[in-house]
Amino acid sequence: MAVRRPISNPQKRDTLSALILYIAGGITDAVGIRTMKAQLLALMLLGAGAAWAGWTPVSGSEKTYDYIDLDTLRVDGKMRRVMTLSDRTEPDRDGDMSYRVFLEYNCDEQKYRSLHSMFFSGAMATGRTTGKTDRASEWRPVAAGTISASVMKAGCSRQ
């Protein structure tokens, strides 16, 4: 039977990490998995949790859920730059399940453009990177009731 080691300084660990490490220890005790395998399982679960870290939901539909990472939000006068994530419930025609896009918004003129995009085969920007774009797109108007409007509202409300 493996010995469960206490989590050192739990105030410095986030709750998800602590829970995953605790569960991995319980699995080790319950099914007799050797320590190395339990540690590998914990690392895999921690990696899955990290894919969700930092993403704030802004909109959703039957096909797509959209998030922004407020830690990436940059404010420069009327301009906002922020990383977004679109997570699909089914693959698109290219087989992509998620897209991570760095967007720039002009809050006064209600326009936006893509600065950088990456496409992924897995949910929440995981799996294989299937493509990317590094050129800024043309400025586009933000139409009311769209995903872009939800992202702009969340980004432009921040100072």
In eight-state DSSP terms, residue 92 is -
Structure tokens at 53: 């870290």
> Has this prediction a pTM greater than 0.85?
no
Q: What percent of the chain has pLDDT over 70?
A: 67
With a cut of 70, say whether residue 14 has pLDDT above it.
no
Across the chain, mean pLDDT equals: 76
Structure tokens at 56: 């704030």
Name the band, by pLDDT with cuts 50, 70 and 90, for residue 47. very low
pLDDT, one tens digit per residue, over 112-148 is 999 999 999 999 999 999 999 999 999 999 999 888 8
Structure tokens at 133: 């774009």
Name the band, by pLDDT with cuts 50, 70 and 90, for residue 158. confident
Tell me how far apart the alpha carbons of residues 139 and 142 are, in angstroms, rounded to a whole number.
9
Spatial contact of 38 and 25, defined as CB atoms under 8 Å apart: yes
Tell me how far apart the alpha carbons of residues 85 and 13 are, in angstroms, rounded to a whole number.
25
Q: Is 13 helix (H, G, I), strand (E, B) or coil?
A: coil
> How many C-beta neighbours within 10 Å does residue 65 have?
20
* Category of 124 on φ-ψ map: left (φ > 0), alpha (ψ -120 to 50) or beta: left
Which pLDDT does position 115 carry in this prediction? 97
Spatial contact of 118 and 143, defined as CB atoms under 8 Å apart: no
